[in-house]
Chain A
């Protein structure tokens, strides 16, 4: 089992090195599912790591590409299946922008995701928030990291 995970991680590492060519969403998915390999159905861990809580955006873009929409479709299905009545969308920008604009950009990304959930028919409460470029998840200084930071993260609000 452990060996298996290590193997998967190695594969993921290989994929990451090819990051520049691969589409970002596929990458994010692969890396996520390995981390959540043990997550049980209906848990936050499953939503975060197996469904995938993070949709990525192109530089300066605030609308999702097809892979991003497909991910949100899966998120929506999970939210409905487990009767989640409140979510929060955190929008983020990469470090290659100025601070104030990035706050607005992150907010606009979060808003895009919110609108998409509404268009799917989500009836729960959706709050949005922007962190601008203040909370990166990938810290290197090249395009493979910046693309991971241009993101909107769906957070299940538990009461």
Chain B
């Protein structure tokens, strides 16, 4: 079988016969179904019907799927170099997901196959790999980099993905993340999250007078870029679900104000012009509104502003501090925190502000709720026993699970597929500071994101356009 027959494939269009693909994809997916079921099972075991009072770090026990990832081949030195780098990124993405165990290439037996040759699976079975990733890089006459990806089911000896990608050379990391997303989606049945970015606050200087700058980076910590110059305090950036926009608060005017920043053009504008502080902004799921807190003397209440016509709507009228609002993905509900009953607790209301009901009933106080993009969980920060924990609960408040613990963890944000959370973790004392971490929703696979310095307030983007 010659794998390179057929015409040039359009980006993201399958190469091979669909029927065969589906069948073999199912075989690998079945192996994976076991893992997904195992995760679900461990969740079920660890979550009693009522909210937890005691704190348990959930550690599911899952065998990641073994996958072999070859360097993508190439004809020229340049192509070969890109091929190695693309394979390295894909390896890192899949490894960091915690669901895959890339095999050390030193264990590969087949190392000298030509680009057009089909893998000899007798050489791959001894590695215990269930899936094999191969590919090649072709530099296009117009200077673009093109990558062919092939994903093989080692046991059935069938190709389950054949796709071609193309990008400008400066976007080669993005291209590699897209390949990771394709593999992840094919093998897990879930959308990937690798071609995404994180907007966050980069911190420097002494703890008493921190310099805070908005920054954006790829989800793996690369391509870091500052968005503000550090002359004003900036906090709590949030990505637009629809556009290359970030809403955040800035002290540039002298007091905290909700701002809007276009990442591509750098253009900034004030969201509304209120006499007092506005803070804790977040976009509605359609990207057309910003929900935020407005302070009025000793109360803070929730408002929305329609970015198209600047129309304001008041949603709460409490004598308390209502803040950190987050929409359900269908836009019909809002979860927020309020101290209306004393301690900070989580409440859900309809998007018009009606039908408020409390959802957090565990010990301690709850804050920074964020609705999962899948709609199934609410992530939060929980303060109990002098510890700040990151957890998730179902939207009715049941099934609380703590995913990350310690002295100070705060501010979870969801990957677009709702499988992974990032948050920030502060270390203690005068020289302490925040760093960004990720953990999956089973509480496994906690990892520090490389930000080259203190970093806080991460917010995950949707999949990049």
Contacts and interface: CB of A to CB of B under 8 A. Distances in A.
A104 B300 contact: yes
A14 interface: no
B298 A130 contact: no
Contacts of B457: 99
A141 B279 CA distance: 27
A101 B337 contact: yes
B368 A98 contact: yes
A128 B295 CA distance: 11
Given A107-B295, A136-B208, A100 B323 contact: yes
Contacts of A108: 297-300, 321
A98 B410 contact: yes
A99 B236 contact: yes
A112 B236 contact: no
A96 B365 CA distance: 12
Contacts of A98: 324, 344, 367-368, 381, 383, 388, 410-411
Given A101-B323, A112-B298, A130 B277 contact: yes
B410 A134 contact: no
A62 interface: yes
A132 B210 CA distance: 13
Name, among A100, A104, A129, A139, the residue most crowded by chain B CB atoms within 10 Å (CB to CB). Answer: A100
B209 A135 contact: yes
B410 A99 contact: yes
B297 A111 contact: yes
B147 interface: no
Contact of B235 (A105, A134, A135): A134
A101 B430 contact: no
Interface residues of A, number: 30
Given A98-B367, A137-B208, A130 B295 contact: yes
Interface in A23-39: none
Contacts, number: 101
A134 B210 contact: yes
A103 interface: yes
Interface in B229-255: 233, 235-236, 254-255
Interface in A116-145: 128-132, 134-137, 139-141
B279 A103 contact: yes
A99 B383 CA distance: 13
Contacts of B429: 139-141
Contact of A101 (B344, B386, B426): B344
Contacts of B212: 134
Contacts of A140: 429-430
A141 B324 CA distance: 26
A52 to B, nearest CB: 19
B375 interface: no
B277 A99 contact: no
A112 to B, nearest CB: 7
Interface string A78-105: 0000000000000000011111110111
B256 interface: yes
Interface string B48-71: 000000000000000000000000
Among the interface residues B209, B298, B343, which one has the most CB atoms of the partner chain A within 10 A?
B298
Contacts of A137: 208
Nearest to B206: A139
B293 interface: yes
B204 to A, nearest CB: 14
A134 B279 contact: no
Nearest to B380: A98
A128 B275 CA distance: 11
A103 to B, nearest CB: 5
B207 interface: yes
B81 interface: no
A107 B208 contact: no
A83 to B, nearest CB: 24
Contacts of A141: 407, 428-430, 432
Interface centre among A97, A103, A132, A140 (most CB of B within 10 A): A103
B411 A134 contact: no
Interface in B265-281: 276-277, 279-280
Contacts of B233: 131, 134
B408 interface: yes
Interface string B203-234: 00011111010000000000000000000010
Interface of A: 60, 62, 95-101, 103-105, 107-108, 111-112, 114-115, 128-132, 134-137, 139-141
Given A96-B408, A100-B280, A141-B432, 18 more contacts: A62-B298, A97-B367, A98-B324, A99-B236, A100-B324, A100-B368, A101-B367, A103-B280, A108-B298, A111-B298, A112-B298, A134-B210, A139-B207, A139-B429, A139-B430, A140-B429, A141-B429, A141-B430
Interface of B: 206-210, 212, 233, 235-236, 254-256, 276-277, 279-280, 293, 295, 297-300, 321, 323-324, 337, 339, 343-344, 367-368, 381, 383, 386, 388, 407-408, 410-411, 426, 428-430, 432, 457
Q: Closest 5 A-B residue pairs measured CB to CB?
A: A141-B428, A139-B430, A100-B280, A104-B321, A104-B300
12 contacts: A96-B386, A98-B324, A98-B411, A99-B457, A100-B323, A101-B344, A101-B367, A108-B300, A111-B298, A112-B298, A114-B297, A140-B429
